[in-house]
Each structure stands twice: as C-alpha cells, then as structure tokens.
C-alpha cells in the first residue's frame, strides 16, 4: 500500500502545469504505484476565500475511491467552522490551511483556534511549516502529534531525509509527492536510495498516515 498525502488538482495560476486533472493524476499514480492520494485544490491556495474551492474538490473526488479530498479552511473567513463539519461529512482524511498564502501568522490566535477545533473534531490539519522550527522546538508530547511529508525534503547527495529519519524517527514521516508541481517518482527514488527495512518503508509509504488518522 502506498498513500500520497500531498497531491494537487486544478490549474496553477502563474504558468501552464500539465497533469492537473483527475485523469492525469490517476495516470501518474498508476505509473508510480500509488494506491491512494489525498488531494488539495491548487487554485484556491491563491484565492482570498480558499474555501470556495471545496465544492469543486468534493465533486471531483466524490465518486473516486482512490482520491480523498483535503478541503481548505481559512480561520479568518466566515463559515470556517462549518467547513470542518463538511470535511467530516465527506470523509476527508484531513483539512488544509496554508497561513503563508492566506496572510496569517502561523503561530497566531486564528491558527491556534483552528488547531484546537481540528483536535476536537479529531481531524488532522495539513499545513506548510519549517520542520527545524517546529519539531525541534516541540515537547515530546507535541512531537508525537506531528507527521512530516517527505516530498520537499532533500535526498542524495545531501540526504537530509536520511539524517532526519535517524534523528526524528521513521514513525514521524509520511509519503508525499507534491504532484503535479513535482515529479512523483522523485519521492520514490529518495526511498529507494535509503537503507530501509521493509517495515520502515511500509510505515513511511502508508502505515504512518493510517496511524495519523487513528490518533
């Protein structure tokens, strides 16, 4: 089983990017041996009200067993609480908020309220942060509630990923590709070049993501 926790659908606004349709994503998943993808709506990253893209996302993934929606939630916009309820109703494995794109303080009051609401709903919150500022600044109790997507972590020759797996722990990392903004095979190659046991690789490719949902 291989689960991609960071895939995107919809057009990129600044230039033409191929592979942004559900059909193209399926083809890339088949090519890379990915069984399931958690998908976000790429255009809404750049909208003032990113939650307006959620209806499209639910429609695009509603009858697709391999694509799971990750709806956008902006805690500074009216109706964001209802968006969390809608996510649960649509079987979303998580919700997403990107404070840098939304003009929010990543550690501000709005993000703290959102994090608390997601915790109460037992719904993981996906966002882009600096690993070195978050993991190594967290208490042990906080760190066990965090998982890190490998898609933007350097592999060989620097091999930051190998270092992080050894210091942070294999159980804290999940498989992500960032496709179509990145080539999905890159994430596979990074794992292929590591000296991982079958159990460690299985944890990264699917087991840890499943654990996050059951946390």
| Distance in angstroms (rounded) separating the CA atoms of residues 77 and 188 | 37
Return the axis-axis angle of helices 22-32 and 184-192, rounded to nearest 10°. 20
Contact 186, 14 (CB under 8 A): no
Q: Residue 45 has what DSSP assignment?
A: G
Contact 173, 208 (CB under 8 A): yes
- pLDDT tens for the chain, 215 residues: list them: 999 999 999 999 888 999 999 999 999 999 999 999 999 999 999 999 999 999 999 999 998 999 999 999 999 999 999 999 999 999 999 999 999 889 999 889 999 999 999 999 999 999 987 666 677 778 888 888 899 999 989 988 888 999 999 999 999 999 999 999 999 999 999 999 999 999 999 999 999 999 999 87
- Report pLDDT for 131: 63
- Report pLDDT for 21: 95
- Report pLDDT for 132: 60
- Report pLDDT for 140: 85
Across 43-79, b (16+ Cβ under 10 Å) vs e yields bbbebeebbebbeebbebbeeeebbbbbbbbbbbbee
| Distance in angstroms (rounded) separating the CA atoms of residues 215 and 210 | 9
- Report pLDDT for 143: 85
| Distance in angstroms (rounded) separating the CA atoms of residues 29 and 13 | 23
The continuous run of DSSP H or E covering 24 comes out as helix 22-32
Give this prediction's pTM.
0.93
Contact 150, 165 (CB under 8 A): no
In angstroms, what CA-CA distances link 139 with 66, 85, 112, 136, 174? Answer: 35, 29, 17, 8, 20
| Distance in angstroms (rounded) separating the CA atoms of residues 114 and 120 | 10
Q: Which long-range contacts (CB under 8 A, 24 or more apart) does 18-22 make?
A: 18/180, 19/179, 19/180, 20/180, 22/60, 22/61, 22/64, 22/67
- Report pLDDT for 87: 97
Distance in angstroms between the alpha carbons of the first and the last residue of the chain: 19
Q: Which two tokens stand for residue 158?
A: 């620097």
């Amino acid at each position: 089983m291989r689960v991609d926790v960071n895939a995107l659908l919809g057009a990129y606004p600044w230039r033409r990017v191929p592979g942004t349709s559900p059909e193209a994503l399926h083809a890339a998943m088949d090519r890379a041996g990915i069984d399931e993808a958690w998908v976000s709506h790429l255009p809404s990253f750049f909208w003032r009200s990113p939650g307006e893209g959620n209806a499209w996302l639910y429609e695009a993934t509603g009858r697709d067993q391999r694509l799971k929606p990750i709806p956008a939630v902006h805690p500074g916009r009216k109706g964001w609480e209802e968006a969390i309820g809608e996510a649960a109703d649509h079987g979303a494995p998580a919700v997403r908020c990107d404070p840098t794109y939304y003009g929010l303080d990543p550690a501000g009051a709005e993000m703290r309220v959102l994090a608390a609401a997601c915790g109460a709903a037992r719904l993981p919150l996906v966002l882009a942060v600096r690993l070195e500022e978050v993991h190594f600044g967290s208490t042990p109790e906080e760190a066990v509630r965090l998982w890190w997507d490998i898609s933007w972590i350097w592999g060989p020759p620097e091999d930051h990923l190998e270092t992080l797996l050894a210091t942070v722990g294999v159980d804290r990392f999940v498989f992500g590709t960032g496709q179509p903004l990145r080539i999905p095979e890159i994430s596979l190659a990074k794992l292929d070049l590591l000296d991982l046991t079958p159990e460690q690789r299985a944890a990264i490719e699917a087991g840890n993501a499943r654990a996050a949902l059951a946390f």
